[in-house]
A = this chain, B = another copy of it.
Amino acid sequence: MAAATKERIVESSAELFRRQGYAGTGVKQIVAEASAPFGSLYHFFPGGKEQLGEEVIRYSGAIYGQLIDAFFVPGEDPVAATRNFFTAAAAALHESNYADACPIATVALEVSSTSEPMRQACADVFNGWIDGASERLVQGGLPRKRSRALAISMIAALEGAFVLGRALRSTEPVEVAGATSTEAVREAVAAQRARRRARG
């Protein structure tokens, strides 16, 4: 089926955008990487490169969101989940030779002031991640407000650690951010337990 071509275009774009950004990737390079005919790109994405960019953001965002969900399993220890998540992120960064970090951060920074539809797509993805992680922490027994703050802190720490890690070619920032985030979750859990005990 021909839909496979569209999928290949999206996947190749996702990989290229992640490594070299949106503006730094040409449509010719995309179709070459995807082994797709040039005309197909404009057949599936009549809105051109910008529409492709938006769909790639949402696609990559959904994949990475599932990855987050895979670590923060309801009912299991959120402290261990946080630690494991950052450890896995550090390993993936290292194994890809510091190329594959966040799939949308590069594009997000590029387009936040230049393309409203793409910026909106990034915002939707980030909000999805925040809400998802937050929900899992709530299920882990933390108060809603505290969970949201932790989720934002955690995602911000990861994104920033990726920025530093890619430039420094080191996993240290991811490891350090992971330790700090894990500690923050541990304290939140402890504080909540203490509150429950006090209440009875």
Contact = CB atoms under 8 A, between A and B. Distances in A.
Interface string A154-171: 011111111110111100
A73 interface: no
A149 interface: yes
A113 B15 CA distance: 12
Interface string A12-26: 000000011111100
Interface string A128-172: 000000000000000000000100110111111111101111001
A99 interface: yes
Nearest to A106: B109
Given A156-B160, A160-B157, A177-B156, A167 B110 contact: no
A123 B165 CA distance: 9
A52 to B, nearest CB: 16
A40 interface: no
Category for how many chain A residues contact B? 35 or more
A157 B153 contact: yes
A53 interface: no
A113 B126 contact: no
Contacts of A21: 21, 23-24, 109-110
A119 to B, nearest CB: 6
20 contacts: A20-B23, A20-B113, A21-B21, A24-B110, A24-B114, A99-B112, A109-B163, A113-B166, A126-B164, A155-B164, A156-B160, A156-B163, A156-B164, A156-B173, A157-B157, A157-B177, A159-B160, A160-B160, A160-B161, A163-B163
Give me the 5 closest cross-chain CB pairs, A-B, nearest first: A160-B160, A159-B160, A156-B160, A23-B24, A106-B109
Given A109-B109, A156-B163, 8 more contacts: A23-B23, A109-B166, A112-B166, A123-B169, A152-B161, A152-B164, A156-B177, A158-B160
